[in-house]
Structure 1
């Protein structure tokens, strides 16, 4: 009678000693992929849509143009200028929300974190507007013209800041790829 042979080990049993190490390496690789995906998603969420800069610039300039138009007209023109200014503020808030929604991020950052993030850009843009206002005043431009030009510089500055931030985010995304 033939002796029963011991069952030959299956391939999974043969690699049993190597399996925990392979599983750990696989898990570490998967965790690394998850972290990389989270970092990419975070960068993409910080990207400002291309339409945001020009829209913000228009939302800043139009109320000042309407206010300049209303100077000296009194009555209804003053009310219209006030309403357009409030509407412009509402448009800026709606643009910010639309930009966050478009990025898939609805978690609003605190004002302190927003100010910290723009700690360099905000003073530069505000200073550029102030310098422009001083130049306009020194050149003898009227108050309405000065206001329109200053708000235009601020709008262009906000647009430029969006472009620079998007370029740096795109560069970081390319480096992650």
Structure 2
């Protein structure tokens, strides 16, 4: 099986069929036993994985998720992503965890806030971002100071790129003055 490097983000297991040079653009060639060499050029802002059989999936794996816009859930092309893709993308949204619930994958994160009022402010800031994206997570204020957020695309019953975009945008919010402690995994 051929492995591939992308801007040093993914380990190379078998270098006998792969050439790679790092520069302002990453140039590399992927070769399989079934096809001639396929050159691929990726700009530094795009990173992805070779999905096999001549496909390079850069759209799903763009490194700057926060700069993207969620697509409408009514899109005919919207499908739940594979667990493999979710495991790659989760690395791009620090603090979030993949959780499997009722045969569906979700993104989850928990925080502790200073006061009940700070918790309500936290939820309002997240709700404003979610409304702007047209993508709505499950928001919970449990007790007086525990915030829990679950994100998944209800319309497809699993994770889509929209979920990671929203998680990245939430990560970009300035919430530190509201938090009692750092994010938790509870």
- Same fold per TM (> 0.5)? no
Greater Rg over alpha carbons, structure:
1
TM-score calculated relative to the size of structure 2:
0.26
TM-score calculated relative to the size of structure 1:
0.27
Q: Using CA pairs under 8 Å that are at least 6 residues apart, name the structure with larger relative contact order, 1 or 2.
A: 1
Greater helix share, 1 or 2? 1
